Amino acid sequence: MITRAAAWSVLTEFTRSDSLRKHARAVEAAMRAYAARYGEDPEVWGVAGMLHDFDYEVHPRAPHHPVKGAEILLARGVPGPIVHAILAHADYAGVPRRSRLDRALYACDELSGFVHACALVRPGRMIAGLEPASVRKKLKDKGFARTVNRDDVYRGAEELGVDLDAHIAFVVSALTRTSPSSSRPSPTLPPSSASPGPDDAARRHFPAGIGATGALAVVPAGWRGRGAPSETRGSGG
């Protein structure tokens, strides 16, 4: 089993973007919370969350991300089930989601990004107190965080077998619990409880800025959601 410290080392070796690193930590936090709920190993699930996009900067096009990244992870000794979940979080990789780990990662990835986007337009840009109804409303607003694939969000909850409102509340809670005041950021390894702060928008999942209308308007070039900036992406993924 790869340790969290080793996973962080791999992530930071391949990912310079602070926003992407923090997105990794956000998904890690959601995955750890779900692992606890399901009686699974939070270390395993947390590592899957932390590493799911680790190769995005070096492999920005599908299907290189995450297929080539998976080869690197296997060579680094990352356990097969984690690598499988990472492959399966991209629909275009053609790897079926079989385990609960696979389905949880898929469910947490896009929603974590969307929740963060919702928080960015709240007073104080706070995730705490974000209501599922508010998130649902924004999911229906096609102009809001428009690069987030709504079908992925809905499909993720459905595949995991959780009510969407409950899933949203669960992810919001997981990210809220990781309050900055409880963390002691380290230059090398953030605490597992660390949460994304107001400016910690992972560029793949979160717009980089907020437009004058309040709509999240700026997105990274080529971003199409779910780590598939290329035209070769399939649905979701």
Backbone angles phi, psi at 187, to 5 degrees: -65, -15
What is the rounded CA–CA span in Å between residue 44 and residue 35?
Answer: 9
- Identity of the residue, 155 or 187, whose beta carbon is nearer to Fe ion in the bound complex: 155
Q: How far is the CB of 168 from Fe ion (least distance, A)?
A: 17
- Identity of the residue, 214 or 222, whose beta carbon is nearer to Fe ion in the bound complex: 222
Cβ-proximal residues to 156 (8 Å cutoff; 6+ apart), any chain = 103, 106, 107, 108, 109, 110, 111, 167
Q: How far is the CB of 123 from Fe ion (least distance, A)?
A: 26
- Identity of the residue, 67 or 184, whose beta carbon is nearer to Fe ion in the bound complex: 67
What is the rounded CA–CA span in Å between residue 180 and residue 107?
Answer: 24
Residue 115's SS3 state is helix
- Identity of the residue, 182 or 232, whose beta carbon is nearer to Fe ion in the bound complex: 232
Q: How far is the CB of 106 from Fe ion (least distance, A)?
A: 10
- Identity of the residue, 53 or 200, whose beta carbon is nearer to Fe ion in the bound complex: 53
Residue 130's closest CA among 150, 121, 36, 157?
121
Q: Which residues bind Fe ion (CB under 5 A)?
A: 53, 109
Task: Name residue, tokens 């702060």.
Answer: 197
Q: How far is the CB of 11 from Fe ion (least distance, A)?
A: 12
Alpha-carbon Rg for the chain, nearest whole angstrom, is 16
Q: How far is the CB of 181 from Fe ion (least distance, A)?
A: 26
What is the rounded CA–CA span in Å between residue 73 and residue 68?
Answer: 9
